[in-house]
Structure 1
């Protein structure tokens, strides 16, 4: 049994690491329409609408410094999963703001998983199965493999204040 679990984990790790990063989707004419599966910020360059919006929204967003300072000690050992649609207006607005906040917090890329979905809010290979994604963007905050909370579509107050509310829960 132990060998079977080890083999399964090894197979999963090999599959996950072999996935193409920043995989694009195309329409019937061959035009790039979006990103799918595991992505990173660099992939936004492939989608003009996403890149253009990122170039405007990222520098314009000013995270609340007091909230950033309050978040700093709470963010240690946390993981974040972001599920977005590069075609989605809310994703195009909120994701650059979120990355500006992550950069202010000095969160490392290894602690953030960015997953892009198609218009039916699906990714390939069951990548988001079981995540209960109803709207995008969805920001999911985890500690020790357990979900602490999420921000779906738009924050209630601001991204950093909503994140502080999630991490401050005891």
Structure 2
């Protein structure tokens, strides 16, 4: 009986500490429902306010072919963290286009982490503490050792694929 009780308590503790994925809250600052914290791509692109722009923008975006050829040579075991706001116009435009680039590169989805923030650019449980997020979206590229090698903040300087290529070239 004690073992069963112990196992039950462990399971409860794990569920309490486990973060809810694709969590929806009402953002008082924006007066709308948003996603917060860790999201899956499916959760993000099925969220109604985000989906309405995601589908047509993703379909329409055509990454620069020459840049993509160069990117394919350099992309390896990097990890990418995307911090965005489902309420944010720049996120609604640039995240679908960034996913189009990643898909064209056949970048492994398991190497991509998506974190949604509220209107104050905050997430819960300290999951973006130390990332110095000022604007969204922020695309952070990490090397295979987990060191940040560069980021694209809010919008690209050239194109998303061009900025990603510049980050990867600079790390070499």
State whether TM-score is above 0.5.
yes
Aligned length: 154
The residue number in structure 1 matching 2:150 is 149
CA RMSD in angstroms, aligned pairs only: 1.9
**What's the CA shift for 1:27?**
5.6
8 Å CA contact 1:33, 1:47 repeated in 2? no
- Specify every segment of 5 or more residues in structure 1 that has no aligned partner in the other structure, as ranges: 1-13
**What's the CA shift for 1:47?**
3.0
- Specify every segment of 5 or more residues in structure 2 that has no aligned partner in the other structure, as ranges: 1-13
**What's the CA shift for 1:44?**
2.6
8 Å CA contact 1:64, 1:160 repeated in 2? yes
Determine the C-alpha separation between the residues in 1 that align with 2:118 and 2:34: 7
Determine the C-alpha separation between the residues in 2 that align with 1:130 and 1:87: 22
Q: TM-score, normalised by structure 2?
A: 0.84
The residue number in structure 2 matching 1:138 is 138
The residue number in structure 1 matching 2:41 is 41
The residue number in structure 2 matching 1:160 is 161
Q: TM-score, normalised by structure 1?
A: 0.85
Q: Deviations over 1:22-42 (max 9, x none)?
A: 1111268xx961101110221
Determine the C-alpha separation between the residues in 1 that align with 2:41 and 2:159: 21
The residue number in structure 2 matching 1:84 is 84
8 Å CA contact 1:24, 1:32 repeated in 2? no
Change (3 A) 1:142 1:27: closer
Dislocated runs of 4+, deviation >4 Å: none
**What's the CA shift for 1:45?**
4.7
8 Å CA contact 2:23, 2:36 repeated in 1? yes
